[in-house]
Structure formats: C-alpha cells, structure tokens
Amino acid sequence: MNNDKLEIRIYNDPVLREKARPVAVVTPRHVEIARQMAEMMYGSRGVGLAANQVGLTERIIVVDVEWHKREEDNTNPGRQPIFMVNPEVTEESDTDDVASEGCLSLPGIEGDVWRPASIRYRYTDLEGRPVEAAAEGLKARCIQHEIDHLNGVLFIDRMEPAERKKLAGQLAKLRQSGPVRV
Ligand SMILES: [Zn+2]
C-alpha cells in the first residue's frame, strides 16, 4: 500500500456502489488496511466500517459494537475490534427486527431498517484462520450492514420507500457536498 492516507468516502462516491472482491490470501497489507480502518472507525465514533467506505474494494470489515459502553464503564481494553475478511452470512433467523441505522458514509442520515434478528456467519481472521460464529441484536445488525457495503448496498436501499422519500432533500444535499475529510 502506498502512503496515501485513507479517508471515509461519502454518499456521492461511486466506490460505495461497487462490489468488493474476495481476498485470496491475507497479507500484511490487509492487516495494515484493517488496522487503519479500525482507527478511522473509532476516530469517527462508529461501530463498524467496510473497506468500500475507505475506497478499497476488498472484502474486509471491522466491527466493534460495544466499545462506547466499555469506554463508559472503564472496562479495559475499551477497544476490541473484530476484523473480518470475506465475511458471509450463512444463516438468517426467520424473525426480523427493526431499528434505526446510521452510516459514516451518510452523515446526518438515519432511518429504520428491518433485518433478520439473528444470524450465523463466517469469515477469515487476520491470521488467515476460518471463524464461524453467531450474533444477535446490534452485532448481527452491524455485520449485515457492513456486508451490504461490500456488495455496494447502503442501508437506505433497505428502508421502506415512503420513509426513504422523506430523506430525499438530505440525500440530495449530501450528493453535492463532495468528499468530507475525517
Ligand atoms: Zn455504513
């Protein structure tokens, strides 16, 4: 990787609509990308980030949904990022759940999204080991949101059309705002 500093891409950036490609072998470069992504996620006070959001079309996400809480509780270490390479949902619950979502690439935008309440998923960790796990609640939601990013899908795509319509003005403004430096 060259020394270009990664930055968070905003709604008008076409890379957010690209499908990221699988990582064949995890290399030190991927580890470095993941480390930088975590820094940017924490710096922006987010709970998840996908590679598309920093302009890279490789299937890498970072998730840490409880770090705010750990920070408040003074639990050490406050930051426990989970890095996932080639993450995939393998099973979805029949029950859906609704909650308001936001996104570092859509600053100021929030909206209700229905998603499967719990999932089983698999990924490769930064040591190249396969991992299988289950998640529910916010963690399940966040993993699904980040995997969507790797497929070029944004949470607004999953909102009820009537609800999304209400955001049209805000989205138009974002589209014109150009890159935001974080
Ligand atoms: Zn997002």
Question: Which pLDDT score is estimated for 94?
Answer: 97
Q: Where are the beta strands (DSSP E) in the chain?
A: 48-50, 60-63, 82-92, 96-101, 111-116, 118-124, 130-136
Question: Could you tell me the pTM of the whole model?
Answer: 0.92
CA distance 54 to 7: 5
End-to-end distance of the chain based on CA atoms, in angstroms? 20
Grade residue 182 by pLDDT with cuts at 50, 70 and 90.
very low
Question: Which pLDDT score is estimated for 4?
Answer: 63
59-108 pLDDT per residue, tens: 999 999 988 888 888 776 788 999 999 999 999 999 999 999 999 999 99
Question: Which pLDDT score is estimated for 138?
Answer: 95
106-161 pLDDT per residue, tens: 999 999 999 999 999 999 999 999 999 999 999 999 999 999 999 999 999 999 99
Catalytic-residue membership of 146:
yes
6-61 pLDDT per residue, tens: 899 999 899 999 999 999 999 999 999 999 999 999 999 899 999 999 999 999 99
Q: What are phi and psi of 138, to 5 degrees?
A: -60, -35
Q: How far is the CA of 166 from the centre of ligand 1 (A)?
A: 19
Q: What are phi and psi of 144, to 5 degrees?
A: -65, -40
Q: How far is the CA of 48 from the centre of ligand 1 (A)?
A: 7
CA distance 178 to 122: 35
H or E stretch covering 72:
helix 67-72
Domains of the chain with bracketed CATH: 14-177 (3.90.45.10)
Question: Which pLDDT score is estimated for 179?
Answer: 60
CA distance 36 to 5: 9
Q: Which of 32, 58, 146, 160 is catalytic?
A: 146
Q: How far is the CA of 76 from the centre of ligand 1 (A)?
A: 26
Residue 3 has pLDDT above 50, yes or no: no
Do 143 and 63 contact (CB within 8 A), yes or no?
A: yes
Question: Which pLDDT score is estimated for 154?
Answer: 97
Q: How far is the CA of 106 from the centre of ligand 1 (A)?
A: 7
All residues with CB under 5 Å from ion ligand 1: 103
Residue 181 has pLDDT above 80, yes or no: no
Do 179 and 10 contact (CB within 8 A), yes or no?
A: yes
